[in-house]
Amino acid sequence: MSANNSQSPAGRQNAATYDSAFMKACRREAVPHTPVWFMRQAGRSLPEYRKVREGTAMLESCMRPDLVTEITLQPVRRHNVDAAIYFSDIVVPLKAIGIDLDIKPGIGPVVENPIRSRADLAQLRDLTPEDVHYVTEAIGMLTGELGATPLIGFAGAPFTLASYLVEGGPSRNHEHTKALMYGDPQLWADLLDRLAEITAAFLKVQIEAGASAVQLFDSWVGALSPADYRRSVMPASAKVFDAVASYGVPRIHFGVGTGELLGAMGEAGADVVGVDWRVPMDEAARRVGPGKALQGNLDPAVLFSTREAVEAKTDEVLAAASGLEGHVFNLGHGVLPTTDPEALTRLVEYVHTRTAV
């Protein structure tokens, strides 16, 4: 934690969470046990989540501080995880600046007017704290409830946001995205640069409100080759990480199918690199190199198997991670919607017990 923000709300909250297992692992310090949290831990796998969200659209849920607070706290209460992650969606900052989009059930974010030309860039104005005042309010409520449990803020990375904006929604092949990236590299660079500014502003709001760490989700970047990533994506991601570096909070970077990109993703500026289930943690450490903590990486589908199988696969992850400088246990992607919540609760307890010093 940097001294210059010790009097800010973020600084005060970070003081409360500074010695938590999660924060220590992110800083590559000795921990009392391997900390655990799950991507999508606050979500559809929990019956209490489905009940509280009933009749409320996703984007509306993200803009109601009372709902955000309750949903974010649910997995902390139920699973005893070592960190909470702020309940939101990666398209919230885009919606906040006036992009005409909606999250459609069973589909995902759908953009009414995709960005395909330079004139379309005018849709992307600066994000101000007033645009997302509900985020500041919700995080204030949350940090008061969480006490010494860290809150992770998050945002979508420029490439993934760009892919939604250019495609108009989720895409399997990213053909429009890649066509723009290859066919008009200057427009592409300008698009990602604007998104980097919006993303950095969104993360700053969360940190200044009290988030103890932040995670940048680049969900779709695994669709790229290492050369394309370095040339066309890494500068924008690095800009985001650099913009929040002075706050001194851990910065986590995660993508899906990014085994070939792990080294470059670490170079972009993260303190912690998330690893999906396709690459063992010891091999991931070799690819990322020294000086970074790693996060991951149990296959989410394993949780549908027997308790014995879950424990055996968990032991494999812990063994592969035993030599790491810092390890935050997580799944290799988000919790699947039909996961038994009890399996998650047991998994947290198992990791805590197996790794207790």
Give the residue numbers marked as catalytic.
40, 44, 53, 89, 164
- Of 90, 112, 299, the C-alpha closest to 195 is 90
What is the distance between the alpha carbons of residues 333 and 342, in angstroms, rounded to a whole number? 18
What is the distance between the alpha carbons of residues 207 and 244, in angstroms, rounded to a whole number? 9
Helices (runs of H) and strands (runs of E) counted in the chain: 16, 9
DSSP string of 62-79? HT-HHHHHHHHHHHHHHH
What is the distance between the alpha carbons of residues 27 and 115, in angstroms, rounded to a whole number? 39
Q: Where are the alpha helices (DSSP H) in the chain?
A: 9-17, 21-26, 47-53, 58-62, 65-79, 92-96, 133-146, 158-167, 175-183, 185-209, 226-232, 234-243, 262-267, 281-288, 307-320, 341-355
- Of 246, 219, 83, the C-alpha closest to 164 is 219
